[in-house]
Amino acid sequence: MKTKFKITALLLIASLMLSPFVYSEGETYPPDSVMNVSDLPVGDIVSDTEFGNFTIISATDGLTAVTVDSNSKQSPVTGIKYSKRLKLAGTGSTLNRAVKFTAAGPATLFIEGCSANKNETRTGVVVNAEGETIGENSFSSGMENKQYDIPAAGDYWFYSLNSGINIYYIRLTYEPQPVYNFEDMDGIVTEPMDVIYTAPMAPADGAGTEAEPMSIASALLNIAPGGTIYCSGRYEFEKCLLIDAANCGEPEKEKRIECSEGTVFDFSGEPYSNDVGTNQRGVQINGSYWHIKGLEVCMAADNGFFIAGKHNTLELCVANANRDSGIQISRRAATVSSYDEWPSDNLILNCTSYNNFDPATGENADGFAAKLTCGDNNVFDGCIAYNNCDDGWDCFTKSATGPIGTLVLRNCIAFRSGQTTDGKFTDNSDGNGFKMGGSKIAATHYLYNCIAFENKNHGFTDNSNPGPIYLTNCTAYNNALDGGSNKSNFDFARDKERSNNTLINCLSYAPNAIGADKFIGSVKNSVLYSKDKKNYYYFDDLNNVSWDSKPGTVLPTEEISSVDDSVFVSVESPELGADVHTLWRNADGSINMGGFLKVADGTAYKQMGIGADLSDYSTAVPTAPPVQTNPPQPTQTPDTDIPDYIIYAAPDDFNESVIDIRLENNTETAASPCIMLAAYTDTEAGSLLTSYAFFERGIGAGSYDEFSYDLSGVDYNKVKVMVWDSTDRLTPLANCAVITPAEPEENN
């Protein structure tokens, strides 16, 4: 759904028999034919019935009828929820329990469905008028998207060879399916180079010159500190492009990746699974001192960009249509348990993240995320998040890992969170502009000159983070579009006992019905919508107050008008689907919104310095936030004594069913130990072993090894990870690591 050539997918699903498409190659294709079973009436199909270009062939064997009934399933491709299914209810033929269609030429048939029996796999075939099978697929009990290649014009039938298959959606398309040329990810180490040129499908052993470019995988391995990799064109990948933790630049000598205009890393080839812990990211930076400029990453099965190192910079990068958060800062694995090792001092500069959507739930793909496990002084400056299915910024914390470090957001915009560019709100999404915490865990954050507008729920929210959170010159406009009267522009009072936040020069306005702005702490020179939900109030200088105890001064007064459209130069927001990265940026990449939400000259608000200003070349350059003398500590901390071997194990931050394992070898000798993972469940008779696995890992002297093991589908409530000398000699090398799955925490 999410690459540029698939942006119209949701529109196609809702349409039937559209006018012919004309593609960039100049070739015209017949229109797609679509049958969304959710659009069909409920009931038995007692005779052959046409729906558009499809005909449902009724049952002629005198057994259970073919029927349409209510049943909820979610598309594994688009995330759309279907409400009905077509039950073929038995073995079919061209005359019995089938779906017939006519192809106008070579085409591709997509069917989303599943076996009618949770314990049995069913085979669905497509046959032609001569009865020849031209394609077959297996359908399991889980929802699947199956593809059949239709070779030529003619009549075709789909049916089951061995009992019932349930169908939710069918599409016949004539547009040729994309042919990928995937990058070779096996790079070759040659020698450090200061300048390397790459190109799509360049060989791993290329010279790295403009005339003889090198593969991007090899370039990452050979670029020297202070050197630059040049990229141009569209690169296609089927797995993550990883910069290893040991692959680092140096202070004042970053490793750089410079991209010419239009450079795209396309990860459409990565398989996507509703078991999201198995999905691969796009570009993952575990190393430090990297600077990537001008790169667009699209359609990764997980995050577009994932930053787990330190002192890295993303500049003028775009994350588009990825299947989790577009740009995220978090630790690389659950075994990185020391706060000092968490990603810190990273700068995300003038980047844009939009249209990111996770098909599995529709509630995890944010524009930007710095959450769960990130260290101090990660900065977002001049960044835009829009039309992401969850939040614009997600800075969530949970008790299992504790507080995150200080974040700084300046000159940033979040809008239309909770809906993608098709304009539809996603049911499960949080839909906040700036979500600054979670789980009532205190973390200090700073926001300067930021704007939130037209988000599904809150514009700015502490999400129960008691703070302190400091907002200076921030504007919230017309949020809570789908959140009802309980959602607001500003929401900073979720922890009634401990919240202590500061709003300075902030401005709230919504022409539509909206919830009251909430705060606990200090408010200075700000205009907010108060609890009576009728008036805007001016707050001069109030300290240690609550929104529901001291309402401020009702507007208008003789000096200050109330808030309405006239306070701003313009309140005309960009059209849905506009290319905001191009529309709202100056030549240097800084944001320029023109007159939109700019406080107008001549108003009291302008004279008093209230509200954000992202017009022209206006940027906020705040004084540096205070340095934390006592940085937060994660729940899990490493041992202070360093034995010869240390084994760590923990549930993965993003999928509790995946166990991350890290073995450290602190000796001067390489080793090949044996690692055993054992899963147990408690019974009345005691602990019962439900699953186990052995791993032999080679690990260098003074080094470490990290890997993961997936326990999806295993019943367990305790996991032990043990390390022995070898499979022949079960001599323990380290203490056993024992973990138990944590209770899930609400992220809202």
Beta-bridge partner residues of 707: 661
Q: Which of 19-28, 81-90, 359-368 has the lowest mean pLDDT?
A: 19-28
Residue 673: is the preceding peptide bond cis (ω within 30°)?
Answer: no
Catalytic residue among 255, 435, 456, 598: 435
- Is the pLDDT assigned to residue 625 strictly greater than 50? no
**d(C-alpha 159, C-alpha 94), whole Å:** 8
pLDDT at 619: 54
Long-range pairs, 560-564, Cβ under 8 A, ≥24: 560/527, 560/604, 560/605, 560/608, 561/603, 561/604, 562/535, 562/536, 563/507, 563/508, 563/509, 563/527, 563/536, 564/509, 564/511
In tens, the pLDDT along 124-139 reads 999 999 999 999 999 9
Q: What CATH architecture applies to the domain 645-739?
A: Sandwich (2.60)
Q: What is the mean pLDDT of residues 680-694?
A: 73
- Of the chain, the percentage scoring pLDDT greater than 70 comes to 86
In tens, the pLDDT along 391-431 reads 999 999 998 889 999 999 999 999 999 998 887 778 888 99
Contact at 8 Å (CB) between 366 and 436? Answer: no
Residue 631: is the preceding peptide bond cis (ω within 30°)?
Answer: no
pLDDT at 747: 55
Which residue in the block uniquely carries the two structure tokens 């907002």? 471
**d(C-alpha 87, C-alpha 85), whole Å:** 6
Taking the alpha carbons of 145, 419, 353, 445 in that order, is the dihedral positive or negative?
negative
Q: Give the pair of three-digit tokens for residue 122.
A: 């069913």
- Is the pLDDT assigned to residue 729 strictly greater than 60? no
Q: Which of 202-211, 331-340, 511-520, 713-722 has the lowest mean pLDDT?
A: 713-722
Beta-bridge partner residues of 671: 699
Q: What is the mean pLDDT of residues 20-43?
A: 75
The beta strands (E) that lie in 558-671 are given as 645-651, 658-665
- Is the pLDDT assigned to residue 667 strictly greater than 60? yes
Q: What is the 3-state secondary structure (H, E, C) of 280-304?
A: CCCEEECCCCEEEECCEEECCCCCC
Q: Give the pair of three-digit tokens for residue 604.
A: 């009291």
Q: Which of 295-299, 376-380, 548-552, 572-576 has the lowest mean pLDDT?
A: 548-552
Calculate Rg over the CA atoms of the chain. Answer: 28
**d(C-alpha 481, C-alpha 498), whole Å:** 29
CB-hemisphere CA count at 13 Å for 78?
21
Contact at 8 Å (CB) between 314 and 396? Answer: no
CATH of 193-466+473-495, picked from 3.40.190.10, 2.160.20.10, 1.10.10.10, 3.40.50.300, is: 2.160.20.10
- Buried residues in 469-493 as b, exposed as e (16+ CB within 10 A): bbbbbbbbbbbbbbbeeebbbbbbb
Active site residue 435: yes
Q: Determine which helix (DSSP H) or strand (DSSP E) holds 688, and give its type and residue range.
A: strand 686-696
For residue 143, count other CB atoms closer than 10 A to its CB.
19
pLDDT at 24: 41
Name the average pLDDT for the chain: 86
**d(C-alpha 219, C-alpha 643), whole Å:** 37
Q: Determine which helix (DSSP H) or strand (DSSP E) holds 12, and give its type and residue range.
A: helix 9-13
pLDDT at 737: 64
Phi-psi region of 606 (alpha: psi -120 to 50; beta: other; left: phi over 0): alpha
In tens, the pLDDT along 180-191 reads 788 888 999 999
Q: Which of 135-149, 369-383, 693-707 has the lowest mean pLDDT?
A: 693-707
**d(C-alpha 459, C-alpha 472), whole Å:** 15
pLDDT band at residue 675 using 50, 70 and 90 as cut-offs: confident
Report which of residues 308 and 546 the model is more confident about: 308
Task: Report helix, strand or coil for 4.
Answer: helix
pLDDT at 627: 42
**d(C-alpha 111, C-alpha 679), whole Å:** 37
Report which of residues 672 and 540 the model is more confident about: 540
Q: Which of 21-30, 146-155, 487-496 has the lowest mean pLDDT?
A: 21-30
Q: What is the 3-state secondary structure (H, E, C) of 437-490?
A: CCCCCCCCEEEECCEEECCCCCCEECCCCCCCEEEECCEEECCCCCCHHHCCCE
pLDDT band at residue 329 using 50, 70 and 90 as cut-offs: very high
CA separation (Å) from 429 to 394, 441, 575, 679, 701? 12, 22, 22, 33, 47
CA separation (Å) from 633 to 402, 469, 659? 7, 19, 22
- Of the chain, the percentage scoring pLDDT greater than 90 comes to 63
Tell me which CATH code domain 4-173 carries.
Answer: 2.60.120.380
**d(C-alpha 481, C-alpha 464), whole Å:** 21
- Is the pLDDT assigned to residue 561 strictly greater than 80? yes
In tens, the pLDDT along 82-120 reads 899 999 999 999 999 999 999 999 999 999 999 999 889
How does DSSP classify residue 548? T
Q: Is the pTM of this model over 0.85?
A: no
Closest to 9 in 3D by CA, of 474, 421, 290, 286: 421
Q: Give the pair of three-digit tokens for residue 405.
A: 């470090």
- Is the pLDDT assigned to residue 703 strictly greater than 70? no
Q: Would you kindly state where each structural domain of the chain is located, as residue ranges?
A: 4-173, 193-466+473-495, 645-739
Pure H helices in 504-636:
580-583, 604-608
Which residue in the block uniquely carries the two structure tokens 């789909």? 158
